[in-house]
Amino acid sequence: MRTTLGALLCSAATMGAAQAQDGVDLEVMHWWTSGGEAAAVGKFAEALDEKTPHSWVDGAIAGGGDTARPVMVSRIIGGDPPAAFQFNHGRQAEELIEAGLLLDLTDVAEAQGWTDIVNPPGLLESCTIDGRIYCAPINIHSWNWMWLSGPAYEKAGLEMPTDWTGFIESAPALREAGVTPLAMGGQAWQQSGAFNNVMAIAIAGPEAWLSVMRDKNADTVLGEDYGRAFEAYAEARDLAQGWSGQDWNQATNAVITGEAGAQIMGDWAQGEFAVAGKTAGEDYGCLPGLGLGAYLQTGGDAFYFPKQDDPAVEAAQKELAALLLSPEVQVSFNSVKGSLPIRGDVDLTTVNECTQKGLDLLAKDQTLPSTEQLVSPDTITQLNDLMTEFWNTPSMTAEDVQARYAEVIADAD
Amino acid sequence: MANPATLGAAALSADAIGAGPMSGPRGARPRRRLSRGNVFLYGTLLLVSLYYLLPLWVMVMTSLKGMPEIRMGNIFAPPVEVTFQPWVKAWAEACTGINCDGLSRGFWNSVRILIPSLVISIAVASVNGYALSNWRFRGSETFFAILIVGAFIPYQVMLYPVVILLRELGIYGSITGLVLVHTIFGMPILTLLFRNYFASVPEELFKAARVDGAGFWGIYFKIMLPMSLPIFVVAMIIQVTGIWNDFLFGVVYARPETYPMTVQLNNIVNSVQGVKEYNVNMAATLLTGLVPLVIYFASGKLFVRGIAAGAVKG
Amino acid sequence: MAIAEDADRAPGDRPRGATRRPVRLFQNLQAKVAMVPMIFVALVVFLGGTIWTVVHSFTGSGLLPRLNWVGLDQYERLWSSRKWLVSIENLAIYGIFSIVGTLVIGFVLAALLDRKIRFEDTFRTIFLYPFALSFIVTGLIWQWLLNPDLGIQNVVRGAGWEGFAFDPLNNPDLVMYGLLIAGLWQGTGLIMCIMLAGLRGIDEDIWKAARVDGIGVVKTYVLIIIPMMRPVFVTALVLITSGIVKLYDLVVAMTSGGPGISSEVPAKYVMQATFGGQNLGQGFAASTMMLVMVVIILIPWAYLEFGGRRRG
């Protein structure tokens, strides 16, 4: 693809490529296939193709993690692993690491000083097992946002509320104006995430949340703080009656058009507002932590690198890892993806009101780990099943779901 | 994927509904004039046809519309302005990750997977069926019974064991591996079809050949093959449909550069963000379904005849 | 059927080739060699894979298969999971309606086509073509037709009937029937073909006799033809049932198990546990229960077909 000369010039430009003799094809598997996501991945591919002698072979599989994960795991078990693959960062890859199937990146991390630059440090901790680093964190996504619709509140003749309580008070007026107060997509992860990641933290408070998710304390679930969170969740269920759709971005679209008053969804929703050409603060509002006690979860995506027999490939994998965390690539990738960079020392070029709120919280250290970092995928699946059942079963009360939530937490590992 | 499996079970009916293949309609004779019965008959058929054709109609119409028209209009209405752009986009421009070459790449991969899988699976299964019906030995039926139970096992259950098998054989991730997988999972149904069909071949033919000193392969090639065109057609149709529509095996046992068309279809249709381009989705769906559809439309009568020969006649 | 067929042959006409000749050992060897692929697949893949799965269902395997025994824990958890129970219940609902619906529609269509009509080929092609499409495609198109804002409901409302409501996929009580509409659309054509082949096998003299005796058309079908077609019905039944047990793609394409967990099915539970929850042991336990279901379905049928015939 590239001329040899070009490759030589480019490789000379980067430190990491100096020791690589020949270009290697690196197959990277991920499930980022939508327009914005693919464009962001394109930044990685571009950087690899231009700055190193290696080439990026794109192994995208649409349909999200549940479709892509079996393929990745099969390939690793089958002895034909990709050079790198995306996993949500957290406990998902633990077993692969324990089985010795993933490449140890500690030397890259030391050379590049990851422990100093990765912020918040929790991201790197999730990649670390027994003091060795096995994955490259690439971005920060936070779940803890509520998005408000400018057009909907205009229709109802109200100002946008500043917190959850205000939102509840505005709901009857929204209904009167023919607006569904809350838009919620039909998939389990959305319905479950709105509680586990957003309402539980905002309403029950970060201490109670950590006690449940980190310490697996079922008594906290049965306590008063969580009780209020479940009540609020039941209220949210009523407010969401009248709008139906599957995908989260359909719900975001309802907020954009003013069909719905608000949506509880992670910061990736902002990409949709941006695509629609909307301005933060005017066309839409954002309430981190439902405007109650703002804490951001700092989960995100990470790349893992399966062990390969070929030392040339291994060297190339390490180069890729280093490249993913380099300042330029961090900026170009994250500004397209709509996520925050994992380095505290780089600046995104343009920042809107909502992103600024997020950066401020990050700077003030009002952060929490993501649920995926604390809880096993097995438990998350069980919580998803429970919460989506509650959301779609009007006869189930807040007390019912509270009791069963406690059971799941009690059994969690 | 489920199709061929279910279909093959048709062959299970090795039963004695005596008559030969398709000797034409046999029911009570309808009256010639437009009687109440006839109105009811054709009325019902037309109504039911509507249920079957509606989705196809909507798919074709939608694939010829532009997005603004889709948002405005009625999904059943024909396009006001016909555009082939969605077809072009689905075939050549739709993106999967950072590769934007639509379904076209997957199409040729599908062909490359289909042809060897088709030839090998049918060859193996026809020999199995022939041996099972004419050269039984102790235990052969037991193996066959295991095979048949295998036809009922959900494929998902076999995913990991097969990964391990392919790894041990050293062909994981190659087209060879995928061909083997298709051969394995097509085997129960096809073997059954061939077994039932060969069992219906007059025994005298077989005996005469034996007397003439023909052996296992001699009889297979000289006697059995030439007279089994219908069942080969059925087997081919089943395998084309099954292999072409397969997504799970393709995505799990192949590599990105050899992913079949269905994987690209999934990628186009399942992109979770942005505006859903229904017209492109529909065009992609139709393009992917085109190969088996053409085979079905082309071989309608042959197919029924084949089922009658392989399944009911047994 | 398959097994039944042996029994069909009287002992006398069984030995085609095999037992006739003194050199049969050698001849058999050739047949055996030819069958090596089949024996390999039967033993290694199907039997071996099944045993491997069952064994691992007693382990606490997570993302990777491991042999850390946990006894019956996975089964206890499986049967105390509401999602699994809902899955089983859904499968039963879908199964019963699908069996009855497919058999009735398939037979009626075949009978209509068998009445010497014009354009038989056209009608037959129309009924059969959905079978050429994958479940993913079927699910996609029906999801769209049943979407209240785009599909049938929208069109009927647009035609002036404002109060019309048809939104099965978003209603937990109706969602399985929504799936059924698509499932029947895809599957009835094949059953119709089989029924048609069966009807064509019925001797025309039977119709003549029925006419002479003055038995009505419907009565002839119900009282004479259907009982004669019992084997065809049995085939159709097994065929439909095996498809029902495997029900997965359609659900994923149409509802992803929603709303809530109201359209979950066992095969989806397996996939979700194995790959979503990264709990292989749980997925294998669920797979094993599915296998048990298959066996429960197959054994009485095989016994009826095989055992019954031998006595006759």
- CA C244 from chain centre, in angstroms, equals 4
Q: Is C63 on the interface with B (CB under 8 A)?
A: no
Q: Are residues B169 and B225 in the same domain?
A: yes
pLDDT in tens, C141-173: 888 888 887 788 888 888 888 888 888 888 888
Final residue of a domain: which of A314, A335, A354?
A: A354
Enumerate residue ranges in chain A where pLDDT < 50. 1-20
Number of domains in chain A: 2
Rounded to the nearest 10 degrees, what angle do helices C175-200 and C120-128 cross at? 140
Q: Are residues A228 and A323 in the same domain?
A: no
| pLDDT of amino acid A322 | 93
Q: Is B105 on the interface with A (CB under 8 A)?
A: no
CB atoms within 10 A of CB A295: 20
Helices (H), A79-223: 94-98, 106-112, 114-117, 122-125, 150-156, 164-176, 188-193, 206-213, 218-222
Q: Which residues of A touch B (CB under 8 A)?
A: 27, 29-30, 32-38, 41-42, 45, 56-64, 67, 70-71, 74-75, 77-80, 247-249, 271-272, 275
Q: Are residues A126 and A203 in the same domain?
A: no
| pLDDT of amino acid A215 | 93
Contacts of C148 in chain B (CB under 8 A): none
* Identity of residue A369: P
- The ipTM of this complex is 0.77
Confidence of residue C9 (pLDDT cuts 50, 70, 90): very low
Q: Is the pLDDT of residue B15 over 70?
A: no
Number of domains in chain B: 2
Contacts of B158 in chain A (CB under 8 A): none
Chain A interface disruption, residue of C275, C280, C287, most A CBs within 10 A: C275
A96–C63 CB contact, under 8 Å: yes
| pLDDT of amino acid A5 | 39
C242–B314 CB contact, under 8 Å: no
Query: Per-residue pLDDT averaged across B2-20, rounded?
Result: 37
Q: Are residues A54 and A44 in the same domain?
A: yes
Q: Are residues A370 and A347 in the same domain?
A: no
Angle CA(A199)–CA(A204)–CA(A207) in degrees, nearest 5? 120
Q: Is B57 on the interface with C (CB under 8 A)?
A: no
Residue A93 lies in a domain: yes
Contacts of A58 in chain B (CB under 8 A): 96-99, 256
Secondary structure of residue C120 in the 3-state scheme: helix
Residue A391 lies in a domain: yes
Rg of chain C over Cα atoms, rounded to whole angstroms, equals 24
Q: Are residues A105 and A211 in the same domain?
A: no
CB interface of C with B, residues 81-100, below 8 Å: none
Residue A12 lies in a domain: no
A249–B273 CB contact, under 8 Å: yes
Residue A3 lies in a domain: no
Q: Position of tokens 């992917």?
A: B288
Closest alpha carbon to C192 in C285, C103, C94? C103
Q: Give the domains, in start order, of chain C with CATH numbers.
A: 75-311 (1.10.3720.10)
CA distance C72 to chain A (A): 16
pLDDT in tens, B241-269: 889 988 888 888 888 778 888 888 887 77
pLDDT in tens, B93-128: 877 667 777 888 888 889 999 999 999 999 999 999
Confidence of residue B70 (pLDDT cuts 50, 70, 90): confident
- What's chain B's average pLDDT? 79
Tell me the C-alpha distance between A67 and C94, whole Å: 25
Q: Are residues A129 and A167 in the same domain?
A: no
Q: Do residues C290 and B157 lie in contact, with contact meaning Cβ atoms separated by under 8 Å?
A: yes
Q: Are residues A73 and A196 in the same domain?
A: no
Q: Is B79 on the interface with C (CB under 8 A)?
A: no
Chain B interface disruption, residue of A28, A46, A55, A80, most B CBs within 10 A: A80
Query: Per-residue pLDDT averaged across C37-62, rounded?
Result: 90
A61–B164 CB contact, under 8 Å: no
Contacts of C170 in chain A (CB under 8 A): 186, 244
Contacts of C173 in chain A (CB under 8 A): none
Q: How many helices (H) and strands (E) does chain C have?
A: 17, 0
Q: Which residues pair with A55 in a beta bridge?
A: A25
Q: Is C213 on the interface with B (CB under 8 A)?
A: no
Tell me the C-alpha distance between A58 and B97, whole Å: 7
A62–B257 CB contact, under 8 Å: no
Q: Are residues A194 and A90 in the same domain?
A: no
Q: Do residues C292 and C82 lie in contact, with contact meaning Cβ atoms separated by under 8 Å?
A: no
The residue segments making up the domain with residue A218 are 145-291+356-411
A41–B98 CB contact, under 8 Å: yes
Residue A7 lies in a domain: no
CATH number, residue B11: 1.10.3720.10
The contacts found for A216-223 with CB under 8 angstroms, 24 or more apart, are: A216/A409, A216/A410, A216/A412, A216/A413, A217/A409, A218/A406, A218/A407, A218/A409, A218/A410, A219/A406, A221/A402, A221/A405, A221/A406, A221/A409, A222/A402, A222/A403, A222/A406
| pLDDT of amino acid B307 | 67
Least reliable range by pLDDT among A178-192, A291-305, C88-102, C288-302: C288-302
The residue segments making up the domain with residue B64 are 31-83
Q: Is the pLDDT of residue B77 over 90?
A: no
CA distance A245 to chain C (A): 9
B153–C46 CB contact, under 8 Å: yes
C121–B300 CB contact, under 8 Å: yes
Residue A169 lies in a domain: yes
> Looking at chain A, which subunits does it touch, using at least 3 CB pairs closer than 8 Å as the criterion?
B, C
Query: Per-residue pLDDT averaged across B174-183, rounded?
Result: 91
CATH number, residue A172: 3.40.190.10
> Looking at chain C, which subunits does it touch, using at least 3 CB pairs closer than 8 Å as the criterion?
A, B
Residue A213 lies in a domain: yes
